[in-house]
Amino acid sequence: MTELRPLRADDVEAADAMAFASLREAVAVYQPGAPRWPDRSEERTAQARLRIAHLRETDPDGAWVAVDGEQVVGLALSLRRGPMWFLSLLAVDTALQSRGVGKSLLEAALRTSEGAGAAWILATTDPKALRRYAVAGFAPHPGYTAVGPLDRSLLPAGLAVRDGDWSQDAELVEDVVTALRGAPYGPDLDAMRATGQQLVTASDGADRGFLVLRAGTVGSLGATSPALAQRLLWEALARADKPDITIDWLTADQQWAIDVALAARLSLLSGPSSCRRSALGPLTPYLPGGAYG
């Protein structure tokens, strides 16, 4: 029998392994054309566990597992940053999907959304996820994923961005992201740094922006103007550590990013969507990160 209980520290490894397998299967089945998820390195696995442990510490009331005896068969992770609620992860063991486990986990995680001015979710292309979120009142904003090999000769010169410093540039990042989504990253900035993510920043007159690179790809990106955001996205492409590029969350309100993807001759595939109950900021020009919104 499946039961729900708060996520414990000793669940983290099993919950991570289950969630990775579940999400990998969902991408393979429901996002044809998207790159298959390769096996993870030890480093990537450690980073994924750290993310789960981090949110268990910061948001214990938003972190739940479904268990069948001793086995972890479902995980929900959410975060509350001031007025903003965000679902960081929802996954059910592939063998036990479509039996209501996801619904119960989402309901448990949503308890911390009470009184939030903003609540949103970045959804995979799994139709079960989209149904769950839409039925719970989150309007889906369909998105594209840009994929393809990068022709480096298309990269523009003179992007004028610089390596960021997690301490010195924290105020810049927090100011920009708060204006975009209504809440700072807060403790999640430390988690990004601890998991080896790389910060890039840019300023141009009164405009400011940042890019977080996670495992050589866009972890999140925000700016006060679309033009600066475009420069940062080009920089992300320039710094990609493999020739095959993936950019997610290209919803209709991120035309600036779609334009960069097209100029880079990447292909637009139907992709994950942004599901929103309410928002406290324009959420553009912004490419969110799946883990922290």
User: With binding defined as CB under 6 A, does residue 276 bind ligand COA?
Assistant: no
In angstroms, give the least distance from the CB of 245 to ligand COA. Answer: 22
Smaller CB separation from ligand COA, 56 or 231? 56
| Minimal distance, residue 112 CB to ligand COA, in Å | 17
Which of 11, 22, 86, 223 is in the footprint of ligand COA by CB under 6 A? 22
Looking at the Cβ atoms of 85 and 256, the one nearer to ligand COA is 85
Taking the complex as a whole, the smallest distance from the CB of residue 252 to ligand COA amounts, in Å, to 19
Give me the least distance between CB of 155 and ligand COA, in Å please: 32
Nearer to ligand COA, 214 or 231 (CB): 214
State the Cα–Cα distance between residues 77 and 52, nearest whole angstrom: 8
Close Cβ partners of 61 (under 8 Å, ≥ 6 residues apart): 6, 111, 112
State which amino acid sits at residue 127.
Answer: P
Q: What element of type H or E holds 137?
A: none
Residue placing its CB nearer to ligand COA in the complex, 38 or 115: 38
Rounded least distance, CB 59 to ligand COA, Å: 17
Nearest residue to 181 (alpha-carbon basis) of 33, 92, 284: 284
Taking CB under 6 A as the criterion, which residues in 119-178 touch ligand COA?
A: 123-124, 126-129, 131-132, 135
Order across the sheet with 71-81: list the strands.
2-6, 63-68, 71-81, 84-92, 118-123, 267-278, 139-149, 244-251
Task: Give me the least distance between CB of 7 and ligand COA, in Å please.
Answer: 15
DSSP H helices in the chain: 12-30, 42-58, 101-109, 127-135, 170-181, 187-194, 226-239, 255-263
Strand 198-204 with 207-214, pairing: antiparallel
Residues in binding contact with ligand COA, number by CB under 6 A:
22
Smallest separation (angstroms) from ligand COA to the CB of 146:
19
Which distant-in-sequence residues (6+ apart) come within 8 Å of 12 by Cβ? 49, 52, 53, 56
Residue pair 107/77 in contact (Cβ under 8 Å)? The answer is no
**Complex with ligand COA: residue 99 or 162, whichever CB lies closer:** 99
Binding to ligand COA in span 45-104, by CB under 6 A:
90-92, 97-103
Query: Where does this chain bind ligand COA (CB under 6 A)?
Result: 22-23, 26, 90-92, 97-103, 123-124, 126-129, 131-132, 135
